[in-house]
Amino acid sequence: MKEQNISKVYADSFLELGKDGNVNIAEEMTKLTETINASNELENLLFLDVFTIEEKTLVFEDIAKKLGLSSLMVSAVKYLIDQKRIGLFPLIFKEVIVRDDMEKGFLRGTILGSENDLSESHKEKLLASIKKYIGDKKPILTYKQSDEVTAGYKVKIEDLQLDASVDNQLKHFKESIIGE
């Protein structure tokens, strides 16, 4: 929980600095994250404590140059490396994306279901139901098949959770009959 709170502070700071410097921090962090995720060696170098701060910094500077990252982004990541907080980068990235989406009026979420894929008509019905709760914001939903759902769907967007699964309906039916 402590790391989560620290990550939120860094994310707020990076976004604020980005606004002041007219730099799209979310876009640059996405580029860097995609590059890190594409290479196990780079991920190991940055996040494992076997390498020195100098080694991490030198490699990161080369990568930043190739990616064309702004000096603000380079300074921010080098600061994380110097402070031995680069391990927080994935959490900071997640927070930056969430805040950036909220600012742009988007909400990211997940639909869990038992089927391999979600039909377009079911997705539209779920979106219509969700609109009541989220107002004008546009949800960006990804579908995932889950063993957690026998039939029906569960939708999770930020703090909002809608459970239209058969399991949940049976549970409520049982409670109404038994009186629990």
Average pLDDT along the chain, 180 residues, taken 10 residues at a time: 80 83 84 87 84 87 87 87 86 82 69 71 73 70 69 67 66 71
Q: Note the maximum CA span of the chain.
A: 67
pLDDT of residue 164: 64
Sheet holding 152-157, edge to edge: 138-145, 106-113, 152-157, 160-165
| Angstrom distance (rounded) from CA 117 to CA 179 | 36
Phi-psi region of 156 (alpha: psi -120 to 50; beta: other; left: phi over 0): beta
Tokens of 7: 């990550």
pLDDT of residue 166: 66
Kindly state whether residues 65 and 142 are assigned to the same domain: no
- Number of structural domains, the chain? 2
Of the residues 101, 135, 169, the one at which a domain ends:
101
Give the helix/strand (H/E) hosting 177.
helix 166-178
Kindly state whether residues 56 and 93 are assigned to the same domain: yes
Kindly state whether residues 15 and 53 are assigned to the same domain: yes
Kindly state whether residues 57 and 124 are assigned to the same domain: no
Domain residues for 65? 2-101
Look at the block and give the residue holding tokens 């008509």: 121
Instruction: Please tell me whether the overall predicted TM-score, pTM, comes out greater than 0.75 for this model.
Output: no
Q: Which of 89, 155, 167 is CA-nearest to residue 128? A: 155
pLDDT of residue 1: 62
Whichever domain contains 52, its CATH number is 1.10.520
pLDDT of residue 158: 64
Of the residues 51, 79, 101, the one at which a domain ends:
101
Give the helix/strand (H/E) hosting 79.
helix 71-82
pLDDT of residue 179: 67
3-state SS class at 163: strand
Give the helix/strand (H/E) hosting 141.
strand 138-145
Give the helix/strand (H/E) hosting 110.
strand 106-113
pLDDT of residue 80: 86
Give the helix/strand (H/E) hosting 18.
helix 2-20
